[in-house]
Structure 1
């Protein structure tokens, strides 16, 4: 999905009144010529003939006016978006309004991560520029507004028993940087995105294998954030797939505590993205999928 952004449209339906058609006064050609010459009008046809001429003129004017109105309406609908036409609009599916996304510039001569010659699948762009921006209406965490963060701050999201093995795995995997952005939406949904960059794709995959047991034995089977130990991996099909990247999606099943947690790891070359959303009651599916998809596209 970049899928980028769908917001609710507000439609107003107006009543269009049929314009009153006023028929012009009909003057016979001979009378018009006489009047122009200042002469009395010549004897014309009967009153019935004049009435017929007047009726024809009125119908001709009406056809021209209504034809113009109809053509204008058709042209207007053709030029409008489907959601702007009353009766054809679709309700919002819950997606957030993200800014228009674009890939950051690369240093001169540097290749993209998945091009020939970049064996380490390295992202040469500034890691902070690869972070997904916060959507419209979000309150951004001033301590996590697209800057660098520490290893310990990143590990604080995990349970105390998981932090020591993960810290050792990070130390062994040539971790270079961690960038973070976090925000809260008006409905209470809290989101965070961490990007971890390693020395190469091999080191990134090594740490990913420490998190996800099914992909390499794992230090601890499928290490997930504190409070989401029972979360299960989900399959999203091709909806969020991006060439050369691999997302791993988790959802905390019922019964969960006071809030539900959704979680994703995205393996993309030398970088591992960690996306988290939580909300009191239930974390909505659509904005989570949208967030994961967009972040995945920025890394691919």
Structure 2
């Protein structure tokens, strides 16, 4: 039986195959096309360096932007230009700083000062007058007599307070006063004693009759003083005591506010008054108490 061969047709796209004659060199075949396109040539190093520089610059700018945003959000609203808010009535006091102490002397409430004595010059512990104030020439931040301090109380009680002061033996009295453009008058007295016990004793003696203490000059005999309900001791320094009172309506020609601060061996009397029906504002009064308390602490 004759052997048959089955011819397999070539693929339509396959190129014809050439057979080299016997004894001759093989004919080179055309290379097959690659399955994937070749990768692009490697970028020059200078291009990569430029890209890196731009990336670093972008990161730096992003960091600066974040830092600026944090700085603005952490600032008070009134510190940012264009975002100032309407004044809430606070006075513009200068920046405060504690006075220098004599060499080797501790602060009144430090561990090395159990007696809580103020070794700094008492006059330097007085709160300075705010911007726009007219300073009282008699109360310019210097030493004053006990008679000047007693002049803040009604005449009928001065002899009694005089005896208490003699028993307590105060060392110094310093005072500062001023008047604001709206007519509010402020007076601050710092009375320093030989010990914390004397300062507390004097404070207790002033308030033994009524909750608001011995009446001040200018207060109404019919209305009197009451506890300032808006005062919560905000900003009070630890280990100090503060008391605030306000004259209730109907008051006389001027409304009076008064506050006492007891800090170690020193007692402070803060008085504010203003003539007219509007009376004194609570915000600057509380602000004055807080700042004076911080200076004494």
TM value normalised by structure 2: 0.70
Aligned counterpart for 1:232 among listed residues 226, 230, 248: 226
Q: Which runs of 5+ in 2 are unaligned?
A: 1-61
Q: Distance in 2 between matches of 1:115 and 1:271?
A: 16
Give the equivalent residue in structure 2 for 1:180: 175
Structure with the larger RCO, 1 or 2 (CA within 8 Å, 6+ apart): 1
Q: Distance in 2 between matches of 1:224 and 1:119?
A: 33
Whether 1:192 aligns to 2:179 is no
Whether 1:297 aligns to 2:294 is yes
Give the equivalent residue in structure 2 for 1:153: 148
Aligned counterpart for 1:136 among listed residues 124, 131, 135: 131
Whether 1:223 aligns to 2:209 is no
**1:219/1:175 CA distance change after superposition, 3 Å:** farther
Q: Which moved more, 1:220-229 or 1:173-182?
A: 220-229
8 Å contact 1:162–1:220 — kept in the other structure?
Answer: no
Q: CA deviation at 1:280?
A: 1.2
SS at match of 2:269: strand
Q: CA deviation at 1:219?
A: 9.8
8 Å contact 1:240–1:292 — kept in the other structure?
Answer: no
Q: Distance in 2 between matches of 1:187 and 1:219?
A: 31
Whether 1:119 aligns to 2:110 is no
TM value normalised by structure 1: 0.69
SS at match of 1:283: coil
Aligned length: 223
8 Å contact 2:211–2:226 — kept in the other structure?
Answer: no
8 Å contact 2:256–2:280 — kept in the other structure?
Answer: yes
Q: Distance in 2 between matches of 1:221 and 1:290?
A: 20
SS at match of 1:264: strand
Higher gyration radius (CA) = 2
SS at match of 1:256: coil
Whether 1:251 aligns to 2:246 is yes
SS at match of 2:171: strand
Q: CA deviation at 1:291?
A: 0.5
**1:152/1:219 CA distance change after superposition, 3 Å:** farther
SS at match of 1:162: helix
Give the equivalent residue in structure 2 for 1:35: none
Deviation track 1:30-77 (CA, whole Å, cap 9, x = no partner) reads: xxxxxxxxxxxxxxxxxxxxxxxxxxxxxxxxxxxxxxxxx9xx89x9
**1:112/1:212 CA distance change after superposition, 3 Å:** same
Deviation track 1:2-54 (CA, whole Å, cap 9, x = no partner) reads: xxxxxxxxxxxxxxxxxxxxxxxxxxxxxxxxxxxxxxxxxxxxxxxxxxxxx
